[in-house]
Amino acid sequence: MAESTAVAGDGGRPAHRDLSAVPLAPPSANNGLLAVFQRRYLLRLLVRREINARYQGSFLGFLWSYINPLAQFFVYWAVIGGILGLHDNVPNFAVHMFAGLVIVHFFTETFAAGTRSIVRNKSIVVKMPLPREMFPVATMLVSLWHTVPQMIVLTIACLLYGWTPDPVGMLAILIAVVMIMTIGTSVALVFSVANVFFRDFGNVVQVLLLFVRFGVPMIYPYTMVEDRFGELARFYLLNPLADAVLLFQRAFWVGTTEDPEYTAAHHIPDNILLIGCAAAGVGIVMLVIAQIIFSKLENKIPERL
Amino acid sequence: MTTSIQLTGVTKNFTLRYHRTFKEITVAMARGHKTSDTFRAVDDVSFTVEQGESIGLMGLNGSGKSTLLKMISGVMRPDAGEVLVRGRIAGLIATGAGFHPQLTGRENLILNAAILGMSERETMRKFDEIVEFAGLGKKLDTEVGHYSSGQKARLGFAVAIHVDSDIFLADEALAVGDRPFRRKCLEKMQEVRDGGRTLFYVSHSTGSVRKMCDRVVVLEEGRVGFDGDVKAGIKYLQYDDDLPTDEDEEMAADI
């Protein structure tokens, strides 16, 4: 199914052409993720279809992509901010939380929907030859697409608080997004194929996502972790999702506080950009490992679906 | 002549699992029952197809025809042996090959064409032709979930036949179409064959195999039982007891 062989003349059938120059090749030859990006037209169609189909049959449709994080936001805002009193301890706690929520939601959507992606597309997967990495990648791109309006809401909220964008912040956003794209795709790849073998993995993801939501400095500030654990807080930063959240807070929340320099020095780890770059590097390594695992297991997908 | 499809020692095993849940597996293991078994669907199949040949793949139900076809199309990979093909493949593997029930016929058409490797330009150029061939009329803009199996097959076939391919694979997908459509498909497939493409046709119908193919491969429990002349192949299968009355009539009855 290599597209390179698709040299079609106007209406002419290529069968007339001399094929002796075309090499014999295995029909299932695909180079995994590379093949996904070689077939961008198909990827675009799948992404568009997924955007239309993710909330098919539901009345509110794509609004669920916002209701979910917004509901979470208000629960945290009321319970953590109001009852536990973090509104008083953390300046602009709502922005602090929402900045984290946007990037965490990008990850959770990629992970959860990506895990289901191959099983959901069963009818195509068992009958048509195409790189199966397409489906997790497409879900990641759909989740990225859903992040855009949330980023706009976040930006507007920040501007209302008197935030001015700064280049370091923009860099932080870029690093965080690349990080989640790579890490999210890797876990989605592995879990999507695992889910074919045992549907339990759909539930495993839900449990993991619980840890994700509480394991990042979103509903509590990083300073609390530092106060409690001191030097050991370094290990907390080994969680790439925590780094992504801190990068987003560096980009959005820091600029909204009264004294951004003090906030950055006090609340954000010093070398967060470096840590972020390292985490993005880890993401790329994870992607390679995920691809190897996926290719190993992929063979059994059609018969197990 | 150039080789179009080359199979060497192709083998495919399926794992049969009798128990799926943790509880069932534990109970079965405690009682000393088997929890899984392997089943060889395709067993050491080797043959070569030259460019432009038309092969009829025949055999009883469960003899491994569809599995073999899936390996040639690239959906499955063999556990042992090697499948090699030259050029681009298109074709139909079972009815409504991979349609999404919640999308309209039009959307599925475009998606399906892209999966089969058509570019955007190619799809646009052939769009009207495909729609016309499928002959679904207004139904094209409704959800495929509401189509009958025959209508799905029409759409699937219409897309597949319009892909510029070097190898065309056809499963028994046509069996669900109505008579005028089957006749149309057969004409189109003859056109494919006469155009010099390789045709790989899975069928139970002696009439259409006789008409379409110049070689027959018979699978028996995953092994090649016969490979050669069409007449001898059909005799080998003992499918020729039913007296061929009007050949066209028979062909239309069970393509």
Question: What domains lie within chain B, and their CATH numbers?
Answer: 52-81+88-253 (3.40.50.300)
Identify the weakest region by mean pLDDT among A45-59, A92-106, A181-195, B150-164. Answer: A45-59
Task: Judge whether residue B251 has pLDDT over 60.
Answer: no
Kindly indicate the confidence band of residue A14, based on its pLDDT and cuts at 50, 70 and 90.
very low
Give the CA distances from residue A162 to residues A89, A155, A165, A258, A260, in Å, rounded to whole numbers and listed in that order. 20, 11, 10, 9, 11
Q: Do B84 and A129 touch (CB under 8 A)?
A: no
Residue B96 has a pLDDT of: 57
Non-local CB neighbours of B16 within 8 Å, separated by 6+ positions:
B36, B37, B38, B39
Closest residue in A to B6 (Cα) is: A24
Tell me whether residues A28 and B85 touch, CB distance under 8 A.
no
Burial of A83 (0-12, 13-18, 19+ CB in 10 A): exposed
Q: Locate the domains of chain A by residue range.
A: 44-304
pLDDT of residue B14: 87
- The confidence score (pLDDT) of residue A176 equals 96
- Which of A104, A103, A94, A87 minimizes the C-alpha distance to A73? A94
Q: What is the pLDDT of residues B23-60, one digit of tens each?
A: 888 888 888 887 778 888 899 999 999 988 999 999 88
Q: Report the alpha-carbon distance of residue A280 to residue A240 in Å, rounded.
A: 8
Query: Which residues in B lie closer than 8 A to residue A14 (C-beta atoms)?
Result: 87-88, 164-166
| Model ipTM value | 0.81
| Residue-level pLDDT at A195 | 93
Contact by Cβ (8 Å): B193, B212:
yes
Contacts with B, A 145-204, CB within 8 Å: none
The SS3 call for residue B80 is strand
Interface residue B119 vs chain A (CB under 8 A): yes
Q: Are A169 and A254 spatial neighbours (Cβ–Cβ below 8 Å)?
A: yes
What is the rounded CA–CA span in Å between residue A209 and residue A207?
5
- Give the distance, in angstroms, between the CA of residue A113 and the centroid of all CA atoms in the same chain: 10
Cβ contact B73–A27 (<8 Å) = yes
Distance separating alpha carbons of residues B93 and A126, to the nearest angstrom: 10
Higher pLDDT, B170 or A288: A288
- B94–A contact, CB cutoff 8 A: yes
Q: What's B214's DSSP letter?
A: S
The stretches of chain B forming alpha helices (DSSP H) are: 22-30, 65-73, 105-115, 120-134, 149-162, 179-194, 206-212, 230-237, 247-253
Subunit contact B52:A15, Cβ cutoff 8 A? yes
Find out whether B88 and B239 touch, Cβ atoms under 8 Å: no
Instruction: Report CB contact under 8 Å: A126, B74.
Output: no
Q: For residue B254, what pLDDT is reported?
A: 47
Q: Is the pLDDT of residue A4 over 70?
A: no
Confidence of residue B1 (pLDDT cuts 50, 70, 90): low
In this prediction, residue B117 carries a pLDDT of 85
Taking an 8 Å cut-off on Cβ atoms, the answer to whether B51 and A302 are in contact is: no
> For residue A286, what pLDDT is reported?
95
- What is the torsion angle, in degrees rounded to the nearest 10, for the CA atoms of residue B217, residue A25, residue B186 and residue B59? 20
Six-digit token string for A28: 């299932």
Q: Residue A49 is encoded by which pair of tokens?
A: 């279809």
Q: What are phi and psi of A185, to 5 degrees?
A: -65, -40
Residue A6 has pLDDT above 60, yes or no: no
Does position A11 have pLDDT exceeding 60, yes or no? no
The C-alpha of B150 sits at a distance from chain A's nearest C-alpha, in angstroms, of 17
Taking the C-alpha atoms of residue B22 and residue B28, their distance in angstroms, rounded to an integer, is: 10
Chain A residues 96-135 with a CB less than 8 Å from chain B: 121, 123-130
What are the pLDDT digits (tens) for B192-220?
888 888 998 888 888 888 888 899 999 99
* Average pLDDT value over all residues in chain A: 86
- The reported pLDDT for the residue numbered B94 is 58
How much is the average pLDDT of B139-156?
Answer: 86
Under a CB-based contact definition with an 8 Å cutoff, are residues B205 and B251 in contact? yes
Cα(A260)–Cα(A252) distance, rounded to whole angstroms?
10
Q: How many residues does chain B have?
A: 255
Residue A17 scores a pLDDT above 70:
no
- Give the model's confidence band at A123: pLDDT under 50 very low, under 70 low, under 90 confident, else very high: confident
Percent of chain A at pLDDT above 70? 93
Give dist(CA B98, CA B89) in Å, integer. 16
Q: What does the DSSP assignment read for A218-239?
A: TSS-HHHHHHHHGGGHHHHTTS
Q: Give which of B77, B143, B198 to mutate to test A binding, by max A Cβ within 10 Å.
A: B77
Identify from B3, B36, B86, B121 which residue to disrupt to test chain A contact, counting A C-beta atoms within 10 A and taking the largest count. B86
Mean pLDDT along residues B91-110: 77
User: In the predicted model, what is the mean pLDDT of residues A170-191?
Assistant: 96
Question: CA of A123, closest CA in chain B: separation in Å?
Answer: 5
Distance of CA B165 to the CA centre of its chain: 15
Which residue stretches of chain A are H helix?
33-38, 40-53, 64-76, 86-89, 93-120, 122-125, 134-160, 167-197, 200-214, 222-229, 233-236, 240-248, 254-256, 260-267, 272-298, 301-304
pLDDT of residue A192: 95
Continuous H helices in A198-271: 200-214, 222-229, 233-236, 240-248, 254-256, 260-267
Average pLDDT estimate for A140-145: 94
The Cα A246–Cα A237 span in angstroms is 9
Rg of chain B over Cα atoms, rounded to whole angstroms, equals: 20
Contact predicate A180/A286, CB 8 Å: no
Looking up tokens 């917004």 gives A70
Contact B109, B130 (CB under 8 A): yes
Nearest CA in chain A to B95: A127
Is pLDDT at A7 greater than 70 in this prediction?
Answer: no
Choose from B115, B123, B125, B194 for mutation: most chain A CBs within 10 A.
Answer: B115
Query: Measuring CA to CA, how many Å separate B173 from each of A36, A41, B142, B186, B205?
Result: 29, 27, 22, 12, 12
Does B76 touch chain A if contact means CB atoms closer than 8 Å? yes
Q: Which of residues 181-200 of B touch A (CB under 8 A)?
A: 192, 195-198
- Asked if A302's CB is within 8 angstroms of B119's CB, the reply is no
Taking chain A, what is the end-to-end CA distance rounded to the nearest angstrom? 22
For residue A46, list chain B residues with Cβ-Cβ distance below 8 A.
111
Question: What is the model's pTM?
Answer: 0.85
For residue B113, the chain A residue with the least C-alpha distance is A42
Nearest beta carbon to residue B74 from set A1, A3, A8: A1
Residues 29 through 48 of chain B touching chain A, CB cutoff 8 Å:
none
User: pLDDT value at position A12?
Assistant: 40
C-beta separation of A298 from A196 below 8 A:
no
Percent of chain B at pLDDT exceeding 90: 19
Residues of A whose CB is below 8 A from B117:
1, 3, 6
Tell whether A4 is within 8 A of chain B (Cβ): no
Compute the mean pLDDT over every residue in chain B, rounded to the nearest whole number. Answer: 83
Q: Which residue of A has its CA nearest to B120?
A: A41
pLDDT above 90 for B236: no
pLDDT, tens digit, for every residue of B151-196?
888 888 888 888 888 888 888 666 667 888 888 888 888 888 888 8
